């Protein structure tokens, strides 16, 4: 499965939860598949999906899911020790690991070669790290959201993209709509 197929499959699971979605194609795909006020789309700032989602999870009680990518996590590896050492049960980090920088033309990442992000997360002190194959993600994600324990999911999948438009919604509108959903 490629990332857009995974997002289609998990859309019903994440629909009612706060989601911070990674820059570029992941946000564009989620926006096209199932736009929700509970989705925060990153239009820039590669690497910070996990940090934004984690700050949100620490600041309030609702479940938060950060959708990140292997390339983006590699950009901000310092995020994993911070998350591990300040764990909060309402947070789930979903790393869609297709072994490539999808938004920039599928250049390979080191996560697709020798580096295991699941092993990195574990070494950083994250207690619940699950590596899962794309077709098995749904139930794993559902139980992570339902659980009181913070979970890091590394979902291995194929690289590949679909053609779709950029998000033209104004960033302040995205942010305001999202904050109203957080408060609701």
Partner 1 sequence: MNIDKKIADDLVANDVSFVTTVPCKQLAGVIEEIDQRDDIFHIPSNKEDEGMGLCAGAFMGGKRPAIIMQNTAIGVTINTLATLTQFYRMPLPMIISYRGELREPVACQVEMAVHTKALLAQLNIPTYHFHWQKDVEEFDNILKYTFMCNKPVAILTDANFWGGYGDQ
Q: Which C-beta is closer to partner 1: that of 86 or that of 143?
A: 86
Min separation Cβ 135 and partner 1, Å: 31
User: How many angstroms separate the Cα of 19 from the Cα of each of 74, 94, 105, 111?
Assistant: 20, 10, 25, 23
Q: Where are the alpha helices (DSSP H) in the chain?
A: 3-14, 25-34, 49-59, 70-75, 79-85, 117-123, 137-146, 171-183
Q: Which C-beta is closer to partner 1: that of 15 or that of 175?
A: 175
Q: Which C-beta is closer to partner 1: that of 119 or that of 169?
A: 169
| Count of C-beta atoms within a 10 Å radius of residue 32 | 15
Q: What are phi and psi of 157, to 5 degrees?
A: -155, 180
Point out which residues bind partner 1 (CB under 8 A): 20, 40, 42-45, 47-48, 50-60, 76, 78-79, 81-82, 86, 171-172, 174-175, 178-179, 182-183
Q: Which C-beta is closer to partner 1: that of 9 or that of 82?
A: 82
Min separation Cβ 118 and partner 1, Å: 20
State the Cα–Cα distance between residues 28 and 65, nearest whole angstrom.
17
Min separation Cβ 2 and partner 1, Å: 26
């Amino acid at each position: 499965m490629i990332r857009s197929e995974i997002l289609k499959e998990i859309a019903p699971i994440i629909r009612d939860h706060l989601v911070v979605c990674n820059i570029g194609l992941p946000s564009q795909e989620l926006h096209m598949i199932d736009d929700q006020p509970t989705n925060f789309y990153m239009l820039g700032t590669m690497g910070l999906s996990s940090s934004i989602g984690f700050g949100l999870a620490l600041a309030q009680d609702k479940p938060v899911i950060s959708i990140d990518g292997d390339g983006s996590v590699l950009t901000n590896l310092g995020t994993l020790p911070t998350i591990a050492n300040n764990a909060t049960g309402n947070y789930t980090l979903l790393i869609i690991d297709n072994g490539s920088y999808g938004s920039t033309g599928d250049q390979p990442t080191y996560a697709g070669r020798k580096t295991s992000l699941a092993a990195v997360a574990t070494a950083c002190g994250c207690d619940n790290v699950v590596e899962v194959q794309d077709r098995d993600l749904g139930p794993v994600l559902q139980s992570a959201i339902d659980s009181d324990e913070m979970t890091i999911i590394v979902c291995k999948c194929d690289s590949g993209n679909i053609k779709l438009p950029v998000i033209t919604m104004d960033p302040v509108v995205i942010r305001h709509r999202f904050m109203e959903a957080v408060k609701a």
